[in-house]
Chain A
Amino acid sequence: MRNDARWSRRRLGSTIAVAGLLAATALTGCGSSSSGKATTTGTSASGSAPAAADAETATSAQALGGMDALAAAAKKEGTLNVIALPPDWANYGAMIDAFKAKYGLKVVSAQPDAASQDEINAAKQLKGTDRAPDVFDLGAAVALANTAMYAPYQVATWKDIPDNLKEASGLWVNDYGGYMSIGYDAAKVPAPTSLEDLLKPEYKGKVALNGDPTQAGAAFNGVVAASLGSGGSADDVAPGVAFFGKLKKAGNFLPVDPTSATVASGQTPVVFDWDYLNLGQGAALKAKGSKVDWKTVVVPGGVVGSYYFQAIAKDAPHPAAARLWQEFLYSDEGQNLWLKGFARPVRADAMVTAGTVDKAAYDALPKSEGTPVFLTSEQTDKAKEYLKSNWAKTIG
C-alpha cells in the first residue's frame, strides 16, 4: 500500500476533526453573541433608540407614553411576525386583516399548521433573526412550561380579565376558549344525541379525532370529554380511552387527521374538535353553498373547556408591534372578532356588563348543559400518563 496515500488520508481525517471542532465551538459561541448583536442593531435601526429600547421592556402602554406612542413605535418597526395562526381558527384571518388595516403594519403569518411546541421551537431556532415569532398563542401545557421565554405586559383592559385567567405580572394571559364538541355532516349522518350513538352502524368509518391525544391538545381534550360522557371524571380518563377502543372495534373510528379539505370533501363526516373550529367550518361551508351541512353539538354529557394562552416573546424582533397586537386582541374590537369566530373571549363577561359585546355573535355560541369542566394541571398530568401507556395499545 502506498505510504503517501495512507498519509494523505490520515492527514485529511485529522484536519477535518480539528476544523470541525473549531467550527462547532465558534458557531455556538457566535450564536449567543450574535443574537444580542442582532437585537440591538434591529432596535437601533428602527429609529430613535430610546423609544425602541423601551418597547422591549415596557410592561404597559403607559410606560411608552400612551397608545398613540405605541402605535407610532410599531409603525416604525413596520412588521409583525405571527406563527401558528390559521385563518379559519377562531376567525384569526379577519383579526389579522383588521389589524393590518387599522395600523398599516405588515403581518407575516408563518407555519399556520404549527402546534404549540413548534412555536417555541421556532422562537429558539430563529432567535436573533428578523423572522423569529413576536407573539405566541399556546395550549396550556406548553404555555406553562416555557414562561422564561415571555416578556411581561399588561394590556389597557387588564382589569376586565378574571384573575384566574391571567398571570399576575402579565407574562401570559388567556385569550379565548371553547368547549369540546362533535361536528357532523347532517346530510350524511344522523345527529348524535349521546356518545353511544356514535357506536351505531350509521357511523361506520366516519368518526375522526383531531390528532393523537398523546401529541395534540385538541385530541387530548376530546378523549377527556369522551371520558366524562362515558361515566368517567376529570381525574379518570380511562372510560374515554375505552370508548375510542369500542369505536375502533365497531369499525367507526377513522384514523385520518381532519382538515378543512377532508371535511369539505366528505372524507371525515364526524369530527371531535373545539366548538369554535367546528362552527367555523360550518359557517364557511354554508357560505360556499356546499352540499355538506356541517352542524356542531357540544359533547353530550362531557362539557370540557379550555382556554388558550397569549404571550409576547422576550426576544421579539419587533417588540412594539408585538405589544400593539396584544392591545388590539384585548380591545373590544379584537374580542368581538374572536366572538365572530365562535370562540369565547376572555373579557366576555365584562363586555356583556358594559354592553360592548356583539350580541348576535354572543347568542350564536352553542349552549351547554351542566357546568363546564376545566382540568387542573395535576389532573392533566395524570391523564397524560394514562394515555402514554394505553392509547397506542387501544387504538392499535
Chain B
Amino acid sequence: MAVLTRAQRRRASVFRWAVLLVLGAFFLLPLYAMAEFSTRGGKGRTLEPWRAMFHDPDLTAAVSVSLQLAVLTVAVMLVLLLPTMVWVRLRLPRLHGVLESLCLLPLTIPAIVLVVGLSPVYRQVTRVFGDSPRTLTFVYVVLVLPYAYRALDAGLASIDLRVLSEAARGLGAGWPAVLLRVVLPNMWSAVVSASFLAVALVLGEFTIASLLSFSNLQVTINLLGKADAFLSVAVSLAALLFAFVLLLGLSFVGAGRHRRSRARPVEES
C-alpha cells in the first residue's frame, strides 16, 4: 500500500538519484585516473602490466597469505568481540564505557608508533608461533576493533537484547545457543558489516606488515611496484577490484541462509 504521496515519492526519487550519481562520480574519478595511467603504453593503450602481474609467483603467495589472514581475523574478531559485547550489555552495563574506550584506543595510536610498542610482544609471539605472517592476525584483530565495535553496537542497539535473551534462557537455552541461534541471526546485517570491514582492512593493511618485515598482499604489491611504476598502479587497482569482488561474493553467502522477514524499505519505489 502506498504510504507516501506522489509528490513525496518523486522528491525522494530525485534525492536518491542525485546522491548516487554525485557520490558515485566522486568515487569513480580517481579510480579512472589509475586505470588510465596503468594502461598507458608507447603507442596508445596497452594491457601489458595487467598481464604481467598474473605470472608473478610472489604475488600469488602473498594473495594466499592475505586471504588466510582475512579469514583468521574475522573469526577471532567475532569470537572475541560479539560475546563480550552481548555480555557487557546484559550483565556489566557499567563496563560499557570501558569497552567503548578500549575499542577506540587502536585508532588513536598511529601504526608507526604502535609497532615500536608491539615489538617486544611480537618477539614472544614469534618464539611461540614461529615466524609465519599469520601471526599478524593478533594485531589485525586489534586494528579492526574500532570499526567492528561500531558496526556491531549499532546492530545490538536495534534489537531488544534483554527480552530476547531472557526469553531464550527462560525456554532453557544455554548461553551458546542464545548467541548462535537467537542473537546472531537477528543482527546479521551488523555482523556482515563488521566482517566486511575486517576483510577490507586486512587486504589493505600495509604499514604494520611492512615494519614487522612480513610480506602480505600490500607489501608485495609495493615491492613489485618498485620495479615498474605502471605495474604498481595496475596491481593496486587489481587488488581493489579483487577485494570488491570478494566482498560482493560474501554478501551473497549470508543472504540465503539467514533471510528473515526483513522490514520492508521505508519508501517503496
Contact = CB atoms under 8 A, between A and B. Distances in A.
Direct A–B contact in complex, judged by CB atoms less than 8 Å apart: yes
Interface of A: 5, 9, 27-28, 30-31, 34-35, 38, 81, 83, 86-88, 93, 108-113, 121-122, 124-132, 259-261, 263-265, 288-290
B226 interface: yes
A27 B42 contact: no
Given A87-B226, A93-B227, A261-B229, A128 B213 contact: no
Interface stretch (B68-76, B124-132, B183-191, B255-263): B124-132
5 contacts: A121-B211, A125-B119, A126-B213, A131-B212, A263-B229
B120 A28 contact: yes
A122 B211 CA distance: 7
B124 A27 contact: yes
A86 B226 contact: yes
Q: Which secondary structure characterizes the binding site on chain B? A: helix
B213 A110 contact: yes
B226 to A, nearest CB: 5
Interface string B226-239: 11111011000000
B151 interface: no
B115 interface: yes
B120 A27 contact: yes
Nearest to B127: A34
B4 interface: no
B42 A112 contact: no
Interface string B99-124: 00000000000000001100111111
Interface in B121-148: 121-124, 126-127, 131
Contacts of B226: 86-88, 112-113, 260
A110 B222 CA distance: 10
A130 B131 contact: yes
A129 B211 CA distance: 13
A24 to B, nearest CB: 9
Contact of A113 (B124, B222, B233): B222
Interface of B: 37, 40, 42, 94-95, 115-116, 119-124, 126-127, 131, 210-214, 222-223, 225-230, 232-233
Contact of A122 (B95, B213, B222): B213
A34 B119 contact: no
Nearest to A132: B213
Contacts of A108: 213
A31 B120 CA distance: 6
Given A109-B223, A290-B42, A34 B123 contact: yes
Contacts of A30: 120, 123-124
A40 to B, nearest CB: 13
A286 B248 CA distance: 41
Contact of B94 (A9, A38, A126, A265): A9
A259 B120 contact: no
A31 B124 CA distance: 8
A261 B123 contact: no
A131 B131 CA distance: 8
In the A-B complex, list the 6 residue pairs whose CB atoms are closest, starting with the nearest. A261-B229, A125-B119, A289-B42, A131-B213, A264-B229, A110-B213
Contacts of B212: 125-126, 131
Given A34-B127, A86-B226, A130-B131, A27 B116 contact: no
A140 B97 CA distance: 50
A266 to B, nearest CB: 10
Interface centre among A83, A261, A288 (most CB of B within 10 A): A261
